[in-house]
Amino acid sequence: MARWAAIVAATSGAGGAAAATPREEAVCVLDGQEGDWVEIDGTGALRISKGTYSVAEDGALQSGSPIVECDAEGIAICFFGNRIRVPLSVAGDDVTVPGAGGTPRRYRRGGDPAVFDRPALSLPLPMPLEATRVEAIQRELARRGEADQRVRTGEDVDPNEMLVVDRDNTARLRTLVLEVGWIAPDRFGETTAREAWLIVQHSGDLPLMLAALEGLDRERQGSSYALLFDRIQTTLGRPQRFGSQLTAGPDGQLALSPIEDPDNVDARRAAVGLEPLSAYLSRFGLTEPRLAVCE
């Protein structure tokens, strides 16, 4: 590990931890509160168990993050290698957390525990399609793939526009693969398969990501498999395997999200057709691997 630098993602401000509490007065808002909660006026659910904060939406797990700190006003979680502050308010059987735009989301103890254990989105078996249908899908995904890249390139990247495009692309691809099965290269061609993967990679839709991972041909699509595998691992709060996922630390500098056995990462990358990690990182202006550390 001598060649690996490390950054510690300290927290501050809205995303930071509260001031340190003397050990003798330390209080955790979650003391005695492990369990499941279902959103009162929405489709979400929460699970807090064994040091993990899990979030579900629309009946399926979407993310899981290790809890690295807890105090009287909330928790800090490790998400994609970044330490993120989550204010929590617990009152009886209710828990309140901030939502999008700061709007509170309220949850009540209970719900369906199976929500957090459901597997990948279940896709139909591949079916024969008319050539005109295949061509229509190819044209549509070409447009959507172009939109995915357009909102991510250039000098004036707008996160809100990116979010709108990703949501629209994800919803459409979900509908499409539930109709025709996974967009595999032997059915739709290498280019279209790559565009479908690109949409999934940026979707944040864990059940869809898991279904896509099952549909990828690891021998033929090794690099796509590796990048999606890493994205799923980081979404679930686990170390990545191939070193593809980067995060911005509190100093604004890029670093690798936590990675398993980093000294052997290049061997794993070579096995799936990826370039050495140093070459990959050089594209982002990094001259040495830096690991983001949440603890």
Query: What confidence category does residue 2 fall into, taking pLDDT thresholds of 50, 70 and 90?
Result: low
Can you give the pLDDT at residue 13? Answer: 38
Look up residue 19 and give its two tokens.
């001031």
Which distant-in-sequence residues (6+ apart) come within 8 Å of 24 by Cβ? none
AA letter at 288? E
What is the percentage of the chain residues whose pLDDT exceeds 70?
Answer: 92
Neighbours of 182 (CB within 10 A): 23
Q: Does residue 15 have a pLDDT over 80?
A: no
Going from the C-alpha of 74 to that of each of 15, 32, 62, 85, the distances in angstroms are 11, 14, 21, 7
The total number of residues written for the chain in this structure: 295
For the chain, the maximum distance between any two Cα atoms, rounded to a whole number of angstroms, is 71
Most confident option among 7-11, 79-83, 120-124, 252-256: 120-124
Question: Residue 48 pLDDT > 60, yes or no?
Answer: yes
CA angle 73, 56, 79 (to 5 degrees): 55
Instruction: Look at residue 198 and tell me whether its pLDDT is greater than 90.
Output: yes
- What's residue 88's pLDDT? 93
Residue 274 sits at φ, ψ, to 5 deg, of: -95, 150
Q: Report pLDDT digits (tens) over 139-171.
A: 999 999 999 999 998 888 898 999 999 999 999
Task: Quote the pLDDT of residue 25.
Answer: 55
CA distances from 54 to 66, 201, 238 (A): 9, 20, 12
CA distance 124 to 109: 35
> Any idea where the domains of the chain sit in the sequence?
5-116, 131-293
Which among 67, 221, 294, 2 is positioned nearest to 212, based on CA atoms? 221
The amino acid occupying position 49 is: S
State the pTM of this model: 0.87
Q: Which fold has domain 5-116?
A: Lipocalin (2.40.128)
Q: What are the tens digits of pLDDT across the range 56-89?
A: 998 899 999 999 999 999 999 998 888 899 999 9
Q: Which long-range contacts (CB under 8 A, 24 or more apart) does 144-150 make?
A: 144/169, 144/172, 144/173, 144/195, 144/199, 145/194, 145/195, 145/198, 145/199, 148/195, 148/198, 148/199, 148/202, 149/198
Residue percentage of the chain with pLDDT more than 90 = 67
pLDDT digits (tens, 9 = 90+) for 87-138: 999 998 999 998 877 789 999 999 899 999 878 899 999 889 999 999 999 9
